[in-house]
């Protein structure tokens, strides 16, 4: 992609010889291909992906397809790897790497999440545990995104939700 930058200043600046600077010229970067920054995301399983698997599948596919890295970071211990891989596969969840807590991990779960965020130099961790989010925010450069339970449906949307449900029900029985 070429980037064309227009330098326009008013009034046009002049050189010490009284000549006008060109008001429009190609930027020195114009012939270079912009460098893409690869983002590294960490996403928890239990209470996070498991709470909204369809949404995470869509998000993760978009992240991976645009060249980013997605680490699934779970405090399930490494002895459960096969079961966990199977679970993610059944949900259609792709990932760059599945990082599990070592069986002999001597410290706390927040310590484990912090260690992974630092080792993989993640930009963001999405997790449902407050303690993990706080630990990551305070002890790493990453941003922690706290997965909250869906709030209860507001009264004013109840009617709309029921109508949507009826439409979905009709569509599935047609």
Under the rule (CB under 5 A), what is the footprint of Mg ion?
44, 46-47, 128
Vertex 140: Cα angle to 135 and 145 (nearest 5):
60
CB of 109 to Mg ion, least distance (A): 9
CB of 103 to Mg ion, least distance (A): 18
CB of 129 to Mg ion, least distance (A): 5
CB of 77 to Mg ion, least distance (A): 14
Question: Which position's Cβ is nearest Mg ion?
Answer: 47
d(CA 149, CA 152): 9
3-class SS of residue 91: helix
Of 26 and 80, which CB lies nearer to Mg ion in the complex structure?
80
d(CA 133, CA 143): 8
Residue 69 CB contacts under 8 Å (≥ 6 apart), including other chains: 38, 39, 40, 41, 96, 97
CB of 36 to Mg ion, least distance (A): 30
Of 26 and 76, which CB lies nearer to Mg ion in the complex structure?
76
Of 112 and 140, which CB lies nearer to Mg ion in the complex structure?
112
Of 26 and 145, which CB lies nearer to Mg ion in the complex structure?
145
State the maximum Cα–Cα separation within the chain, in Å, rounded to a whole number: 81
Task: Give the helix ranges, DSSP H, for 39-150.
Answer: 53-65, 81-91, 109-119, 130-139
Of 47 and 79, which CB lies nearer to Mg ion in the complex structure?
47
């Amino acid at each position: 992609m070429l980037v064309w930058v227009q330098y326009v200043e008013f009034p046009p600046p002049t050189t010490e010889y009284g000549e006008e600077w060109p008001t429009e010229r190609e930027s020195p970067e114009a012939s270079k291909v912009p460098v893409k920054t690869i983002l590294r995301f960490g996403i928890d399983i239990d209470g996070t992906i498991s709470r909204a698997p369809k949404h995470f599948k869509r998000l993760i596919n978009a992240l991976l397809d645009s060249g980013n890295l997605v680490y699934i970071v779970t405090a399930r211990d490494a002895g459960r790897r096969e079961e966990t891989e199977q679970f993610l596969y059944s949900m259609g969840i792709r990932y760059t790497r599945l990082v599990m807590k070592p069986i002999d991990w001597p410290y706390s779960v927040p310590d484990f999440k912090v260690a992974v965020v630092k080792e993989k130099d993640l930009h963001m961790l999405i997790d449902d545990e407050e303690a993990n989010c706080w630990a990551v925010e305070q002890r790493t450069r990453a941003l922690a995104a706290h997965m909250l339970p869906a709030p209860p449906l507001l009264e004013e949307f109840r009617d709309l939700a029921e109508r949507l449900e009826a439409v979905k029900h009709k569509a599935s029985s047609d």
